[in-house]
Amino acid sequence: MQTRITSLLNIRFPIIQAGMVWVSGWKLARAVSDSGALGIIGAGSMKPELLREHLQKIKAATAAPFGVNVPLLRGDVEELFKVILEENVTIVFTSAGHPGRHIEPLKNNGCIVVHVVANVKQALKAQETGCDAIVAEGFEAGGHNGVDELTTLALVPQVADAVKIPVIAAGGIADGRGMLAAFALGAEAVQVGTRFAATAESSAHELYKQKIIEAKDGDTIITYRNIVPLRALKNPFMAQVQKEESEKGMTRERMMELHAKGRERKGIFEGDWEEGEFEMGQSSGLVKEILPAAEVVKKLMSEYEEAKRKLL
């Protein structure tokens, strides 16, 4: 399955493991990359020196290509990029912000830059800025999410029609059927988050992995909706946020106060059911077992072929 994305990233399978806070350190990224897909280290939950440690470890462990995801709204984004360039990382995924001026030093150092977008306007902007590809991420995705609420099914073909650079589909894809659907819509690779979060090599807490396995179709919810929407599993903390939102509304300041207090760490990494945020996508209802990451890659490919054979 060769596409412009597999050529660009020099990978065997058109599958990318999403960079996820507290989930995708060097162990998960390495396992995915060694399997022939692209593993991504999620820098969102790492201080610059911790990121350096993960980069050095993955480079020592594998010669396969891997990437780093950087949320651009981090205050210390320049320091993260400094580490990334010093450690000769060649693939950078940027999200949650405008790639703009950040692209230039990365491109000058030979980096491949892929930006995550949630509407057509952002996609055109990323292309104009010089990004090599984009991830078009739909409303069903876990974690931070676009305010336009465009779903993967509606977003991907509209983005694919608008840009010349290749499109990676994300949001709602947890098996080979979703992967085939993404390709039908014009994507040249898929980015998969939730399913890789529930793997043996994911650094998340066991309770968080278990909650993915148990989640039913309607169990995730969007909070902080008109500020920085976030999709997570319904739990006591999300219920509290939702109650406050519906009763009093939510300001950016109050959102920062609630969300920023290490809630992602509490939920995903520490398994604190009462007080943490358990970020996951609507596709959690499709994830039924915790497997090694390489098995997930293998399954996605075989499920893709099976779904394709069934097409009329």
Please tell me whether residue 307 binds its own copies under the rule CB under 8 A: yes
Please tell me whether residue 311 binds its own copies under the rule CB under 8 A: yes
Residue whose C-alpha is closest to residue 226's, from 197, 200, 246: 246
Least distance to its own copies, CB of residue 203, Å: 25
Please tell me whether residue 184 binds its own copies under the rule CB under 8 A: yes
Least distance to its own copies, CB of residue 55, Å: 32
Q: Given candidates 8, 72, 154, 207, which one binds its own copies under the rule CB under 8 A?
A: 154
Q: Given candidates 19, 99, 166, 178, which one binds its own copies under the rule CB under 8 A?
A: 178
Least distance to its own copies, CB of residue 147, Å: 9
**Could you give the string, one character per residue 266-295, with x where binding to its own copies holds by CB under 8 A and - elsewhere?**
---------------xxx-xx---------
**Residue 260 or 311 having the CB closest to its own copies:** 311
Please tell me whether residue 126 binds its own copies under the rule CB under 8 A: no
**Could you give the string, one character per residue 134-153, with x where binding to its own copies holds by CB under 8 A and - elsewhere?**
----xxx-------xxxxxx
Residues of span 10-69 touching its own copies by CB under 8 A:
14
Least distance to its own copies, CB of residue 142, Å: 11
Please tell me whether residue 191 binds its own copies under the rule CB under 8 A: no
**Residue 80 or 255 having the CB closest to its own copies:** 255
CB 278 within 8 A of CB 208: yes
Residues at the site binding its own copies, with contacts judged by CB under 8 A:
1-3, 14, 119-121, 138-140, 148-155, 157-159, 161, 171-173, 175, 177-178, 180-186, 216-218, 222, 226, 246-247, 249, 281-283, 285-286, 307-308, 311-312
